[in-house]
Chains A and B, each alone.
Chain A
Amino acid sequence: MNFTLKIWRQKDAKSQGAFETYKVENISADTSFLEMLDILNNDLVHQGKEPVAFDHDCREGICGMCSLHIDGRAHGPGDGATTCQIYMRKFKDGATITIEPWRSAAFPVIKDLVVNRGAYDQILQAGGFVSVRTNSVPDGNAIPIAKADADESMDAAACVGCGACAATCKNGSAMLFVAARVSSLAKLPQGRVEGARRAKAMVAKMDELGFGNCTNTGACQAECPKQISIAHIARLNREFLSAKLDD
């Protein structure tokens, strides 16, 4: 298969970026999207040109490192997959493919397609944990948890922190990311103890870092590679409101 690639190139955070056009040829349909970029980059190196910088690591859809906006969609075509899980058979032979970094004020571009997602770490540092010390804990079976609750907690905990939700949201809101953590812990007795404090602290940090507000468009859910439901946002809102009412 052959493709024309329009790729965002940007020297660093301070420079202006622009699209550049590249051709890749003889790509097997079984090649992954990122392998296709590996092939392009190897060609560029042979030509003495700087390869396209993009984030990636595990290539199994779990580390959350890959973060490409492909043809206007976070993580490209197909639902419930990260960029690394997209295969070239999803594209038409001869297609022109546009590749951009996440577009979000809270995720500044570092270089080309690489952005800084440190804001997500900061939100979790504000309260996305259970305050237990190492070794100061009861037996694992001391707290029975209904299977349905554990399963729902796990649904939310599947978040890989890739940033697709905020990058997709027209308001640049990180609500789905925050909700996934708050909701996952809210469904477990271990997480309930600090529930009110957690919801308030994480929402406050999200606001402070320049993420926008949620207007329930549902775009985040549609583009989330782990298909995390906006029902968790509803739970976050409930947690947050009841915490505020108690103030």
Chain B
Amino acid sequence: MAFKLDAKIPAGALADKWSNHKAAIKVVSPANKRKLDIIIVGTGLGGASAAASLGELGYNVKVFCIQDSPRRAHSIAAQGGINAAKNYQNDNDSVYRLFYDTIKGGDYRAREANVYRLAEVSNLIIDQCVAQGVPFAREYGGLLANRSFGGAQVSRTFYARGQTGQQLLLGAYAALNKEIAAGSVKSYPRHEMLDIVIEDGEAKGIIARNLVTGEIERHGAHAVVIATGGYGNVFFLSTNAMASNGSAAFQCYRKGAGFANPCFTQIHPTCIPVHGDQQSKLTLMSESLRNDGRIWVPKKIEDVKAIRSGAKKPSDIAEEDRDYYLERRYPAFGNLVPRDVASRAAKERCDAGFGVNETGLAVFLDFKTAIERLGKEIIKQRYGNLFDMYEEITDVSPYEQPMQIFPAVHYTMGGIWVDYNLMTTIPGLYAIGEANFSDHGANRLGASALMQGLADGYFVLPYTIGDYLSKKIQAPKVKTDTKAFDEAEKSVKERIAKLLSINGKQSVDDIHKKLGHIMWENVGMARTKESLERAITEIQALRKEFWKDVKVVGKADDFNVELEKALRLADFLELGELMARDALNREESCGGHFRSEHQTEEGEALRHDDKFAYAAVWEYKGMDQAPEMTQEALDYEFTHRAQRNYKD
């Protein structure tokens, strides 16, 4: 049965839609809010801000996270900044320009109405965070400072050194603490959601595992919000935190929620290259570095060889022998092209044999020109912590020699399908932040993830969830001794027992590395029909291998990290196949999704708007069954879909 998708986009002019919608949706009175329970899973920027705001409104909120404290969610690691259309720099920025840059940056595969709303509330976020005491960077006059990020020709990114995500999350976490202290929010750290409970077609609660005791718990609520981030760790190596996973989202998909555009993965251009095969994690170097750093490889192949052999240092290569290939190919945006464009350009040079390290998979990010222009002290002020981190990891000082960088998996634009209210195809089940699919199309611009997480949590969900809950004011407390809860708990326990009983020969990490390899080689920066078909076959085989040969040590009723990882990998092994299927279906290139068969003569992504101007929404049909796809047409009423141009 295909989905009957209704995005519930309000009528009217683009700039009026959100106002009109807010006026039209229902609200819940303070007395009734006290009777309503909401579960929020995840405490990153989306989850923490939503929990704090909903608690403040008077709802009873339970908030869950897998870390030992809500403050450690992976939003904390975002470095560069957060966008807003304040126009404080007087460079002709506006809500419309932020909207337009985001829609274009996403290669015209996001919803106009959602993106406009995001741009519209962006300014409120900055005000909110300042009031919470977030120490944003300031100018000498005491006002807020800005810098530039990829895909924009204005300076609209607010930042707190290279730790913007940390500071924004500490702001949201503080707001959450205020509500925990007030008793409106109850926090469940070291808890992992393992299933969503659906009764009468509506979300009624979750099954969670206490990660300390292993106890399986039932939690009921009138609405459930998924704020668990993205699924980039399907690639094993990514910039995501080690425990970041796609399981909560995948449980929703398994129980009937639509999963949209799973193949839209962001490969971030500036990460520290992979070394050896013992690595567990990749490290991101902030996009803000591209404000002053210039990306290049040598023009001559003999220089490449000399650098690889150590005969020459990068600083020995004369200016005229360097190929600043982003500046060459994209004069208008230069080093600040969007991430997908920068990543593909690096791949193109490395594929042509110009990669500058022994693996041939690295390019230079050089601060020589900036240090000459501004002095070492200014560069140190701007990027000191990033330079130190780079030196700690690689033993090379970026003040002396250029950084070596290469693209790595960073963010997933795809996610749970939501309507304009951020509700999934299951009534009462919401998805916010990176966990949903709605705002970034096929490529997310830098400094927009923080914006979306906080927009959803502070300024969108607290209103839209009221529209649904207004119909629940007569509903009693959700009972957890029902058949639906019994069945969900039973299936979770059976899954755990099964994993512990296999006692095969391969560790969870052994199999996860194999999955990562299949994904990176076949569903990575460039994809073809052949590579995707190969990925599907290989993942299916690997999944069988997993369920026959994985070795999960330890017990169910204990602190057991191997079991946690096995449960997450089981879901990644299905999600990886879904990503490949989605990529196979989408016979065009757009944003981060690059099908080699579909490119312009200059090697740019070639969209086919006549056939693929839709979000692909997938419906689960069983572990070894092909999922069914429903299209949500993306009608562009207000912008003209053009070939993305960052050249002039």
Measuring CB to CB, which residues of chain A are less than 8 angstroms from any residue of chain B? Answer: 12, 27-28, 30-32, 34-35, 38-39, 42, 44-46, 48-51, 53, 55-65, 80-81, 85, 87, 89, 110-111, 114, 116-118, 120-121, 124-126, 128-135, 137-141, 143-147, 150-151, 153-154, 157-158, 160-161, 184-185, 187-188, 190-191
| Complex contact A129–B127 (CB within 8 A) | no
Q: Which chain A positions have C-beta within 8 A of B505?
A: 46
Q: Which chain A positions have C-beta within 8 A of B280?
A: 32, 34-35, 38, 59
Q: Is B539 an interface residue (CB 8 A)?
A: no
Q: Which of B74, B278, B553 interacts with A57 by CB under 8 Å?
A: B74
Given A58-B74, A147-B142: A30 in contact with B276 (beta carbons within 8 A): yes
Q: How many A-B residue pairs have CB under 8 A?
A: 217
Q: Which of A38, A42, A63 interacts with B67 by CB under 8 Å?
A: A63
Alpha-carbon distance A154/B70, docked complex (angstroms): 20
Q: Which of B127, B189, B278, B462 interacts with A31 by CB under 8 Å?
A: B278
User: In chain B, residues 233-252, which have Cβ atoms closer than 8 Å to a Cβ of chain A?
Assistant: 241-243
| Complex contact A135–B458 (CB within 8 A) | yes
Alpha-carbon distance A59/B388, docked complex (angstroms): 15
Q: Is B132 an interface residue (CB 8 A)?
A: yes
| Complex contact B393–A87 (CB within 8 A) | yes
Q: Sample 15 A-B pairs with CB under 8 A, ordered by A number.
A: A27-B278, A38-B278, A45-B553, A58-B242, A62-B77, A81-B392, A85-B392, A89-B395, A110-B212, A118-B69, A121-B187, A126-B181, A137-B127, A140-B130, A157-B160
Alpha-carbon distance A102/B188, docked complex (angstroms): 22
Q: Which chain B positions have C-beta within 8 A of A134?
A: 49, 52-53, 56, 128, 175, 458-459, 462
| Complex contact A57–B242 (CB within 8 A) | yes
| Complex contact A128–B174 (CB within 8 A) | yes
Q: Which chain A positions have C-beta within 8 A of B174?
A: 124, 128-130
Interface flags for B136-147 (1: CB within 8 Å of A; 0: not) read 111111111000
Alpha-carbon distance A141/B329, docked complex (angstroms): 38
Alpha-carbon distance A145/B173, docked complex (angstroms): 23
Q: Is B126 an interface residue (CB 8 A)?
A: yes
Q: What 6 new A-B contacts, CB under 8 Å, besides A64-B71, A190-B130, A191-B133?
A: A45-B507, A45-B551, A58-B72, A63-B74, A120-B69, A151-B135
Alpha-carbon distance A116/B67, docked complex (angstroms): 11
Interface segment among B163-171, B473-481, B640-648: the answer is B163-171
Q: Which chain B positions have C-beta within 8 A of A130?
A: 131-133, 174
Alpha-carbon distance A65/B553, docked complex (angstroms): 23
Q: Which chain A positions have C-beta within 8 A of B143?
A: 141, 144
| Complex contact A59–B131 (CB within 8 A) | no
Q: Which chain B positions have C-beta within 8 A of A50?
A: 553-554
Closest to A52 in B: B561
Q: Is B27 an interface residue (CB 8 A)?
A: no
User: In chain B, residues 37-69, which have Cβ atoms closer than 8 Å to a Cβ of chain A?
Assistant: 49, 52-53, 56, 67-69
Interface flags for B363-397 (1: CB within 8 Å of A; 0: not) read 00000000000000000000000001100111100
| Complex contact A58–B77 (CB within 8 A) | yes
Alpha-carbon distance A152/B275, docked complex (angstroms): 37
Given A124-B174, A125-B177, A150-B138: A62 in contact with B242 (beta carbons within 8 A): no
Q: Is B625 an interface residue (CB 8 A)?
A: no
Q: Is B509 an interface residue (CB 8 A)?
A: yes
Q: Which chain A positions have C-beta within 8 A of B509?
A: 38, 42, 45
Q: Which of A125, A145, A146 interacts with B181 by CB under 8 Å?
A: A125
